[in-house]
């Protein structure tokens, strides 16, 4: 099962959420059962401050500080993060961010700090990286990462093509995206093909009151689609195996 985390700013009843330093708050944190403290590319925070926030908000996971498409700086940040984490009260599970091409960065980070248990594949939620590129990077990473690694894809997972093909790779333990809440804020419900359909009046007294229920529905819908596609992939794989018997 690939777990969907929502990059969240709404206190919905969906249990898996991620926030970054610039948006983290008690209201959303208290609504999550499992919580990732992201380091927030572009947020003006230090590595020490990210760890402080992870401790303050009792995060389950904390992402080391990374820099978009800058493997060298990100690697140095990871080295510093690991040193500070060893002396910090934060007990969140560290997640090591990699920038594309992730297979190449994995080798660089492994040389610097050794193999780690949890990795975050970043740098893909930008217009310059197509869905095909995202899948190519993930496939390349799958070829080199050690077999016991937990792998999270950052900022992706809300589109039908990505979901369908990513489940076939059988590498991602979790993903996150803001799609469910962005769609809700625009008055849209996500259907079973991950299309966004407008279902409420955009303005009006009740518009904002409907955002949270819509966001919750969209979040669960996205997780259910991931589960459906994963089940379909398993069924296809089993049918292929049976055909060879």
DSSP, residue by residue, 214-233 = HHHHHHHHHHHHHHHHHHHH
User: Is the pTM higher than 0.85?
Assistant: yes
The pLDDT score that the predictor gives to residue 204 is 77
Q: Which among 37, 61, 41 is positioned nearest to 50, based on CA atoms?
A: 37
Report whether 38 contacts 63 (CB < 8 A).
yes
10 Å CB burial of residue 27 (0-12, 13-18, 19+) is exposed
Residue identified by tokens 């993930």 is: 138
Q: Which helix (H) or strand (E) holds 179?
A: helix 179-185
Report whether 190 contacts 183 (CB < 8 A).
yes
The pLDDT score that the predictor gives to residue 194 is 97
10 Å CB burial of residue 72 (0-12, 13-18, 19+) is exposed
Q: Which among 109, 115, 49, 57 is positioned nearest to 84, based on CA atoms?
A: 49
- Listed by start position, the domains of the chain span 3-234
Entry field: residues in the chain? 245
Residue 22 has, within 13 A of its CA and on its CB side, a CA count of 6
Beta bridge pairs of residue 35: 17
Residues with Cβ within 8 Å of residue 44, at least 6 apart in sequence: none
Report whether 64 contacts 37 (CB < 8 A).
no
The pLDDT score that the predictor gives to residue 61 is 98
The pLDDT score that the predictor gives to residue 234 is 79
> What letter does residue 210 receive in the DSSP assignment?
G
The pLDDT score that the predictor gives to residue 243 is 54
The pLDDT score that the predictor gives to residue 239 is 53
d(CA 105, CA 236): 33
The pLDDT score that the predictor gives to residue 201 is 75
Report the SS3 class of residue 182. Answer: helix
**Fold of the domain spanning 3-234:** TIM Barrel (3.20.20)
As averages over each run of 10 residues, the pLDDT of the chain (245 residues) reads: 97 98 97 98 94 98 97 98 98 98 98 98 97 98 97 96 96 98 95 94 77 96 97 69 53
Residue identified by tokens 């690694």 is: 149
* Structural tokens at position 175: 């993903």
Report whether 121 contacts 158 (CB < 8 A).
no
Q: Which among 73, 27, 32, 72 is positioned nearest to 176, based on CA atoms?
A: 32
């Amino acid at each position: 099962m690939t777990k969907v985390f929502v990059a969240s700013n709404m206190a919905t009843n969906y249990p898996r959420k991620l926030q970054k330093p610039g948006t983290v708050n008690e209201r959303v944190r208290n609504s999550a059962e499992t919580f990732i403290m992201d380091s927030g590319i572009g947020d003006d925070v230090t590595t020490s401050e990210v760890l402080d926030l992870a401790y303050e908000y009792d995060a389950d996971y904390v992402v080391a500080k990374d820099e978009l498409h800058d493997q060298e700086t990100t690697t140095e940040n990871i080295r510093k993060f690991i040193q500070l984490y060893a002396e910090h009260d934060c007990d969140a599970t560290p997640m090591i961010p990699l920038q594309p091409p992730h297979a190449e960065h994995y080798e660089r980070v492994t040389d610097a700090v050794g193999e780690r248990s949890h990795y975050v594949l970043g740098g893909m939620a930008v217009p310059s990286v197509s869905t095909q590129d995202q899948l190519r990077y993930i496939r390349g990473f799958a070829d080199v990462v050690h077999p016991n690694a937990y792998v999270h894809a950052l900022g992706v997972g809300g589109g039908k093509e990505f979901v369908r093909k990513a489940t076939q790779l059988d590498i991602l333990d979790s993903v996150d995206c803001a799609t469910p809440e962005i769609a809700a804020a625009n008055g849209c419900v996500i259907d079973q093909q991950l299309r966004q359909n407008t279902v409420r009046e955009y303005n009006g007294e009740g518009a904002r009151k409907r955002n949270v229920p819509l966001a919750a529905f969209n979040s669960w819908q996205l997780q259910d689609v991931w589960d459906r596609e994963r089940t379909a992939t398993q069924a296809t794989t089993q049918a292929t195996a049976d055909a060879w018997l």
